[in-house]
Amino acid sequence: MTVREIFESMDYGNAPEAAGDALAWIVDQGSRFGHFVGGSYQAPGETFETRNPATGEVLAEVTQGSVEDVAAAVKAARRAQADWEGLGGKGRARYLYALARLVQKHARLFAVLETLDNGKPIRESRDIDVPLVARHFYHHAGLAQLLEAEHPGRRAWGVCGQIVPWNFPLLMLAWKVAPALAAGNTVVLKPAEWTSLTALLFADICRQAGLPKGVVNIVTGDGATGAALVEAEVDKVAFTGSTEVGRKIRAATAGRGLGLTLELGGKSPYVVFEDADLDSAVEGLVDAIWFNGGQVCCAGSRLLVQEGVAEAFHAKLRARMDKLRVGDPLDKSVDVGAIVDPEQLSRIRALVDSNAAGETYRAACTIPKGCFYPPTLVAGLTPSDALMQEEIFGPVLVSTTFRTPAEAVALANDTRYGLAASVWSENLNTCLDIAPKLAAGVVWINGSNMFDAAAPFGGVRESGFGREGGPEGLDAYLRPEHAGKALKRIAPFPGKDAEPQAVDRTAKLYVGGKQARPDGGYARGIHDKSGTLIGQAPIANRKDVRNAVEAARGAAAWSAGAAHNRAQVVYYIGENLAARAGEFAARIDRLTGGRSGKAEVEAAVDRCFTWAAWADKFGGRVAPVPIRGTALAIREPVGVIGALCPDEAPLLGLVSVMAPAIAMGNRVVLVASEPYPLAATDFYQVLDTSDVPGGVVNILTGPHAELAPVLAAHMDVEAVWSFSSSELSERIEAAAAGNLKRTWVNDGRARDWSGAAGEDRAFLGHATEVKTVWIPYGA
């Protein structure tokens, strides 16, 4: 081709990246890899092939991990953990700095090996993935340096089992290993079956950095190996992958007292308003859906365009699609590389080919033979169409239109996922109005796929829970320094079922701001230590839970209100409780047979004032991200929280659970102390006189063992907390797997409700969810 022909066609020439060094590294290892355990590579066992998806050529053979292999790796990690944590944050920071430097030193080797193994374009591996890997280790070295000062009273979980996906093999490794090591944990990591090579290269980097033996262990294998790691004697599990597998992990870890972080699937909306810069929005969409071939959990795979510009936008988009270059991932001029494996390619084809709705447009660009799929647009769909709801995980964009901002929000939130979203408008007021209304853990304004180690990343709904990045991500790898004592089941006092009462009070629940009879019409007698009947408490059932949850969802305006106003209400609750302190103290003493009623009421009043004080002081932070702009890590309410209140502290426990939750903007369904519920039924009147809107606080009484699974399985409850003395942790966590709601359970451990643990800042963390909003600057 002559120079004149080049200028006339403006075609890109080939710019191949040499793969010799990466292939040589594979050969130097014998082209067969064992696990990396206890600081050294093990002899290969039964192996499987890992292939270059662009060519189908075999790159290496990798060992299939067995249950015994996983157990050996966990044992090595356990041996190393105490000494590693004992180094202190400052000691561990030195190793993390060394890892960051070595990643930079070997950046080209990592980038080429990642592209060979995964099929993503070398430009993405070289310019995005590997620099972000180094950034994460540098950032977490800093967090380790400051750990003792910034996280007092917290310590490492212990041994972490970590499972990473095939779409960002090395970057997801960094997202998990860096915070785990910074916090003092040791790691057993399982890379994806299709893409294990960069994890094995990272193991070599760990040796070069002088990392103590057993701190990082790599066990390769398929899903069976991952399942073995989840079942192993680890203290925390962190998983990135599909929602289906995440649900199984939630069920498998139920009741084991483990830490758990899940970063799962998504069907992220890409919202384009009619006043957006359409050309910029098209380019942003290229990055949102065809970055890494659309094999991205937060890909902007659902395009929502305002009707007035839909036709023009789709025309620009189709023209841009036709110019995308699909081909050899090692060619630096290629935009879209290979699909990771023929199995994934078959899944993409099956989903698209089974669709009969809308109009399908495939880019008019050359598609090589092999594991490649053309950039595809399916427009004119309705929200109920399968492609609008199911995660495709490929270079396929689906589209529909909207008319008003309210409709845009409704369409964007019409999904079981909640990972990320993009909003495009030249009117920043529009963007900032929409962003808080979106059910997503990350919102990009006039941009897409922006990531940084300082900015937390993670989802809501069935996109999982927990955050990776920033101090929020580090906190997921820390636990309280001291575990509580074993909690003994508290039984109610026995007594006669019926005795004459001065005033016959009808036993009622508190639902929607009103006292309501229990659906079943049953109540039970509550007796004092001498067996004398004090009164009756209603027995709530499944329908009462439903009614309480409906009332809580109907009080959504509470979450949108000003924090200052919420604080005033919580203060008012404390004031009105103080006015009746003597009455409540006497009631508690009689219920419990003790003499601590006065102290409990005083502590409950103080607790109201503490959480009211926090209401307008826990809003989030500005993350110092490396863009011309900012990222706001905003603390939002979780939503509807169901809580099993402590049995041992009938008033203080209820207030300690209720106050932080509603101060942060949540609505609650509280199940009162099972043996001593009358302190809660007396509390109704305090709520009635404290300007608490109906539905914000709902109180049920009855058997915890029957009500807890109902709350945990309820699809309209976003989180369940349990401080009950009944053994409920396993049942709650297992039932919560249905919609992957957040849980906070006591694992049979007591909490000192009258001490610092009763107002631990952990309540604020569990009462809020972090939404990271990226706001670039510029005209």
| HEC secondary structure over 105-141 | HCHHHHHHHHHHHHCCCHHHHHHHHHHHHHHHHHHHH
Rounded CA-CA distance 737/48 in Å is: 32
Q: Kindly give, in sequence order, each residue whose CB lies less than 8 Å from that of residue 779, ignoring residues fewer than 6 positions away.
A: none
- Decide if pLDDT at 13 tops 80: no
- Supply the Cα-derived Rg of the chain in whole angstroms: 28
Domain count for the chain, please give it: 3
Domain boundary among 426, 458, 490: 458
Q: 437 with 565, same domain? A: no
Does residue 662 sit within a domain? Answer: yes
Helices 581-592 and 597-614, axial angle in degrees (round to 10)? 120
Least Cα distance to 735 among 749, 750, 719 occurs for: 719
270-290: per-residue pLDDT in tens? 999 999 999 999 999 999 999
Closest by CA to 706, choosing from 550, 543, 542, 548, is 542
259-296 burial code (b ≥16 CB/10 A, e <16): bbbbbbbbbbbbbbbbebebeebbebbbbbbbbbbbbb
Task: Give me the helices (H) in 34-106, please.
Answer: 67-86, 88-105
- Collapsing DSSP to helix, strand or coil, 541 comes out as coil
Q: Which residues pair with 635 in a beta bridge?
A: 770
Q: How many other C-beta atoms lie within 10 A of the C-beta of residue 298?
A: 27
Residue 14: pLDDT band with limits 50, 70, 90: confident
723 shares a domain with 583? yes
Catalytic residue numbers, as ranges: 263
Do 273 and 247 share a domain, yes or no? Answer: no
725: its two tokens: 């003395």
Q: How far apart are CA 196 and CA 482, in angstroms?
A: 37
Cα(689)–Cα(679) distance, integer angstroms: 16
Residue 13 lies in a domain: no
690-724 pLDDT tens trace: 999 999 999 999 999 999 999 999 999 999 999 99
In a domain, 669, yes or no: yes
Residue 140 burial (CB count, 10 A): 32
Whether the pLDDT of residue 504 is over 60: the answer is no
| pLDDT tens digits, 331-385 | 999 999 999 999 999 999 999 999 999 999 999 999 999 999 999 999 999 999 9
For the segment 202-246, what is each residue's pLDDT rounded down to a tens digit?
999 999 999 999 999 999 999 999 999 999 999 999 999 999 999
- d(C-alpha 723, C-alpha 710), whole Å: 16
Residue 501 has pLDDT above 70, yes or no: no
Q: Do the domain assignments include residue 542?
A: yes
Give residue 686's pLDDT: 97
**509 Cβ neighbours under 8 A, 6+ residues apart:** 515, 516, 517, 518, 538, 540, 544, 548, 698, 699, 700, 701
Q: Is residue 559 pLDDT above 70, yes or no?
A: yes
Mean of per-residue pLDDT scores for the chain: 95
DSSP per-residue codes, 136-162 = HHHHHHHHHHTHHHHSTTEEE-SEEEE
Write the CATH number for 669. 3.40.605.10
Tell me whether residue 12 is in a domain.
no
Residues 676-712, buried b or exposed e (16+ Cβ, 10 A)?
A: bbbbbbbbbebbeebebbbbbbbbbbbebeebbbbbb
- State residue 9's pLDDT score: 72
Same domain, 254 and 277: no
* Phi and psi torsions of 642, nearest 5°: -95, 135
d(CA 724, CA 750): 9
Tokens of 516: 């309501």
* Angle formed at CA 191 by CA 186 and CA 197, multiple of 5 degrees: 110
Using DSSP, state whether 169 is helix, strand or coil. Answer: helix
Same domain for 446 and 515:
no
Same domain, 188 and 286: no
CATH number of the domain that residue 318 is part of: 3.40.309.10
The H or E element spanning position 723 is: none
Please give the pLDDT value at position 317.
98
Asked if the structure places residue 11 within a domain, the reply is no
CA nearest to 771, candidates 457, 476, 473: 457
State pLDDT tens for residues 86-125.
Answer: 999 999 999 999 999 999 999 999 999 999 999 999 999 9
Domain assignment present for residue 503? The answer is no
CA 259 to chain centre: 12
Region 627-634: mean pLDDT is 95
pLDDT tens digit string along 744-769? 999 999 999 999 999 999 999 999 99
Provide the pLDDT confidence category of residue 483 given band limits of 50, 70 and 90: confident
- My answer on whether 156 and 240 are in the same domain is yes
Residues 523 and 425 in one domain: no
Asked whether residue 276 falls in the same domain as residue 216, the answer is: no
**Domain co-membership, 660 together with 734:** yes
196, pLDDT greater than 60:
yes
Q: How many other C-beta atoms lie within 10 A of the C-beta of residue 486? A: 9
Spatial contact of 339 and 436, defined as CB atoms under 8 Å apart: no
Find out whether 147 and 182 touch, Cβ atoms under 8 Å: yes
DSSP-derived letter for residue 557 is H
The closest alpha carbon to 775, from 464, 436, 408, belongs to 436
In this structure, the answer to whether residues 602 and 453 fall within a common structural domain is no
Res. 1 pLDDT band, cuts 50 70 90 = low
pLDDT band with cut points at 50, 70 and 90 for residue 499: low
| 264 contacts 302 by C-beta, under 8 angstroms | no
Interhelix angle 652-663/678-688, nearest 10 degrees: 40
Judgement on whether residues 336 and 246 belong to the same structural domain of the protein: no
Q: What is the DSSP letter of 733?
A: H
Q: Which residues contact 2 (CB under 8 A, 6 or more apart)?
A: none
Q: Give the mean model confidence (pLDDT) for residues 550-567.
A: 97
Answer yes or no: is 3 within a domain: no
Averaged pLDDT for residues 30-50? 96
What is the residue range of 514's domain? 509-773
